[in-house]
Structure 1
Amino acid sequence: MIVTLLAGIFTGYPVAFLLGGLGIVFSFIGGVPLPFLGTVSSRIFGGVVENWLMIAIPLFVFMGLMLERSGVARRLLLTLQRLFGRTHGGLAVSVAMLGIVMAASTGIIGASVVMLGLLALPVMLKQGYRAEMACGVIAASGTLGILIPPSIMLVLMGSILQVSVGALFKAALLPGLLLGGLYIAYLLITARLKPDWAPLVDQNSAEADTTPLPLALLRDLLGPVALIVAVLGSIMAGIATPTEAAAIGAGGSLLLALVMRSLDWATLREAVRETSRTSAMILFVVIGATCFSVIFKRLGGAYMIEDLITGTGLGPYGLMLLIMGLIFVLGFFLEWIEISFVVLPLVAPVIESLDFGYGLSGQGLLVWFAILVAINLQTSFLTPPFGYALFYLKGITEGQIGIGTIYRSIIPFVLLQLAGLILCMVFPALVLWLPGLL
């Protein structure tokens, strides 16, 4: 089943139908009793379609799309450009900081990369930035939305692993900010060592804004920060569930677009259409993956995976490194949704049985493991040949930058993500301190 799935991925056939179809085909090949397929339907309707957590997905998607169209990102980038304009690499740092703020507000990779690319790439190239630095920081900063909450990935992981989504949101906050900090440190050091890669910004080229800088920062940060506090604050304070907080975010993004005078019927219609397309894609993959995983386990696949992993003779950290290496390699070829729904249910029981010496319970171990996987899967958006952030970026360059340049641009940022992953693996407190505190 695994070999056929990987082969099918390269045919370009829709993954959702590939997963579901292989589940049904192998149920007949493996001699699974026909009545057992009825339990697959029960799992799909009872575990997926009726799952209250799934409502958060279209709400978070809608929130991100409306915020992208509100114009707040453009104004914030111009203000950050004024703030860091006297520093080599200041514009790149502004892009990274905007990526962090928008990641905590949108959580949609495609929207974030395209938005950052359209806003910042022409300006950076015009100011003389090296294409490798400009493309790298845009692609890497745009992918932070998959880790920094509210994240659609964490909502799905909570459902798969049966752990609190609120706990995952709290646990992901510090690692997400850590990655953003690593990006900024790298940009400043590179700009210091190679000033020609990141020249000083010509302040006269920026759009004129006579507002004093502190007031401009307050004005342009107020909307996104209020939305972040409303969504994440309500979850962390225990006032709202993630689904309810997603509704707060969707309503808040509508209100913000209204205040920015960017809300009209065309914008609303397009946002609803894109929300429907994205939600339908995710839901169909979840349904197909449910069918695949149920049949895979029925045929003994879960025991096979467990025996393969535990039979290596490696210790707890050796097994964790093995699993992380496997997920990293799969990220070159598969999307995070397929990896989450196919791999996580198989390896989670192995992780729960391990003792890392920190006195963690099963739930604590799964929260830590989920965040490590989320950091790992963030690299799947940047690694060729199927790194979606690279294709989003290539699409908006209109042939001005070659795909080879874009591939080279992401190498240091993938290494930084792996460094962040190792730090969170060696120091679990980076992940578990905030959930324990709150």
Structure 2
Amino acid sequence: MLAEYALPITMVVALLVGIFSGYPVAFLLGGLGIVFAFIGDIPVAFLGTVGSRIFGGVIENWLLIAIPLFVFMGLMLESSGVARNLLMTLQRLFGRVHGGLAVSVALLGVVMAASTGIIGASVVMLGLLALPVMLGQGYKPEMACGVIAASGTLGILIPPSIMLVLMGSILQISVGALFKAALVPGLLLGVLYVAYLLITAKLHPEWAPLPDQKLLGTDKTPLPLALLRDLFGPMVLIVAVLGSIMTGIATPTEAAAIGAGGSLLLALVMGGLSFPTLRNTLRDTSRTSAMILFVVIGATCFSVVFKRLGGDYLIEDVITGTGLGPYGLLLLLMGLIFVLGFFLEWIEISFVVLPLVAPVVEALDFGFGLSGQGLLVWFAILVAINLQTSFLTPPFGYALFYLKGITAGQISIGTIYRSILPFVGLQLAGLTLCIVFPSLVLWLPGLMP
């Protein structure tokens, strides 16, 4: 078997070595595809089909237009002042409960996840807003850092999510169905976070002291009116984007345009819109979108050549040769993706692993009457939950480095690593629940086909 699949195995090893060397992933994927095409004596004419595949599958894919629009929406909301006002109001709501500020951060993470979907922006925003207040209030650093990092990563799962848009493109399944399927699991994780925080604060009140009433702000607006005021803008945006997709009024790309326009209007209403803000948002949107699409192009070249060299048969033989049943294979794949998340970004894992394992998964029978597209929707959400964990797992968890970057040396990386352990456990618990109870994922798509 090793001799038969020597080239695809070497290709994977070269990819891992290249990633660990720090070489840009987009260049690495495309370059390895071309190099191994010549090593494998693939006809030069075949490389022309790679170009056609890139143009037809990526450049002409209208669905990917949603990526820069959702990125713009998330970045623009950073300038609207919505998050700051909402955090202060939520702190007033939970101010007399041990762990109330941590719960407020978790709830803000859920709301902003459904409005932005940009991990880096969410973690930095929550860190800048909440971390100084939590530390000043006497919170245990591990508790403060953990809830900020974990809540900030919810945006990659709770729709509108860039990851789900790309997964829909990779697996050729409905992005709308993925958005519906991801909503309940995403909210489930938020509930698990809040429950953990309240229980921990009850058992260890010294980890989450009650705030000085002066820290609750000077806003004299009655609390119900303040909640209505600060939740109205983001809720309208969430309903406009997700509601239009789930009811079939708009496609994901059209809904992304609605979200981008709505975020611009919201920033204007909140007084956060200016020419420098718009310029910086457009520049950061261009950078983020170009990075994602460049990786997509490189991954297309890599996967086409990898399959031509027999890589898809290699994966199929490795998986089916284990002798495991459907759930055994699923757990094996989830374990593999979890381990890869320690070292690779979700984009590389999605574009390298998903196209190879999806045909195998699609042919499995899990005994609950699903097959084909429905089965792939369930599998994609399980992978999405798993990949959300990759933002928190060292040594390369990006949320950890975003958080470390804004602490200005006040908190060690060791403290940050320890802070995420219970939240990684909660995410794995959420993943387990979605495996054991598939209806958590499939109920909403079945209710709103």
Give the corresponding residue for 2:331: 321
Q: Which residue of 2 aligns with 1:287?
A: 297
The percentage of aligned residue pairs carrying the same residue is: 85
In structure 2, distance between residues paired with 1:217 and 1:428: 34
Selected match of 2:169 from 148, 156, 159: 159
Q: Check conservation: 2:95, 2:216, Cα contact below 8 A.
A: no
Q: CA offsets, 1:384-417, max 9 Å, x none? A: 1110000000000000000000000000000000
Is residue 214 from structure 1 mapped to residue 224 from structure 2 by the alignment?
yes
The residue that corresponds to 1:53 in the other structure is 63
Residue 38 of structure 1: CA displacement? 0.4
Paired position in structure 2 for 1:384: 394
> Which of 43, 53, 58 does residue 43 from structure 1 map onto?
53
1:71 maps to 2:81: yes
1:183-222, aligned counterparts within 5 Å? 183-222=193-232
The aligned runs of 1:333-344 (5 Å cut-off) are 333-344=343-354
Written as runs of structure 1 = structure 2, the 5 A alignment for 1:350-389 is 350-389=360-399
Report the AA paired with residue 91 of structure 2: Q
- Deviation at residue 203 of structure 1 after TM alignment: 2.0
Amino acid at match of 2:440: L
Distance 2:215 2:339 in 1: 43
Deviations 1:218-257 (A, max 9, x none): 0000000000000000000100000000000000000000
Residue in 1 that maps onto 2:265: 255
Aligned residue type for 2:321: G
Supply the distance in 1 between the matched residues of 2:132 and 2:390 (Cα, whole angstroms): 26
Aligned counterparts of 2:402 and 2:262: Cα–Cα separation in 1: 27
Alignment of 1:224 with 2:234, yes or no, is yes
Contact kept, 8 Å, 2:159 with 2:183, in 1: the verdict is yes
Q: Deviations over 1:64-114 (max 9, x none)?
A: 001111000000000000000010000000000000000000000000000
- By how many angstroms is 1:204 displaced? 1.1
Residues in 2 aligned to 1:433 and 1:361: alpha-carbon distance in whole angstroms = 16
What is the CA distance between 1:206 and its match in structure 2? 2.8
1:316 Cα deviation from its structure 2 partner: 0.2
Deviation track 1:293-329 (CA, whole Å, cap 9, x = no partner) reads 0000000000000010011000000000000000000
- In the alignment, is the contact (CA less than 8 A) between 1:171 and 1:433 conserved in 2? yes
User: Cα offset for 1:187?
Assistant: 0.3
The residue aligned with 1:408 is: 418
**Aligned residue identity for 1:190:** T
- The one of 180, 184, 193 equivalent to 2:190 is 180
Structure 2 residue runs without a partner (length 5+): 1-10
Runs of at least 4 residues off by over 3 Å: none
Q: 1:16 pairs with 5, 20, 26, which one?
A: 26
For the residues of structure 2 that align with 1:22 and 1:381, how far apart are their CA atoms?
26
Q: Give the letter aligned to residue 169 of structure 1.
A: F
Any stretches of 5+ residues in structure 1 without a counterpart?
none
2:122 to 112, 115, 126: 112
**CA positional deviation for 1:23:** 0.5
Cα distance in 2 for residues equivalent to 1:225 and 1:68: 16
1:356-392 deviations in Å (ceiling 9; x for gaps): 0011120000000000000000011000111000000
For 2:238 and 2:75, the matched residues in 1 are separated by 15
> 2:6 aligns to what?
none
Counterpart Cα distance in 1 of 2:412 and 2:401: 11
Work out whether 1:80 is the aligned partner of 2:90. yes
Say yes or no: does 1:240 pair with 2:250: yes
Q: Could you tell me the TM-score, scaled by structure 1's length?
A: 1.00
8 A contact 2:363–2:371 mirrored in 1: no
Q: Which residue of 2 aligns with 1:348?
A: 358
Q: Does 1:146 align with 2:156?
A: yes
SS of aligned partner of 2:44: coil
Deviation at 1:193, TM superposition (A): 0.6
Q: 1:35 is paired with a residue of what secondary structure?
A: helix
Deviation at 1:352? 0.4
TM-score (norm 2): 0.97
1:13-64 superposed Cα distances (whole Å, 9 cap, x missing partner): 0000000000001011111111000010001000001100110000000000
- Structure 2 counterpart SS, 1:231: helix
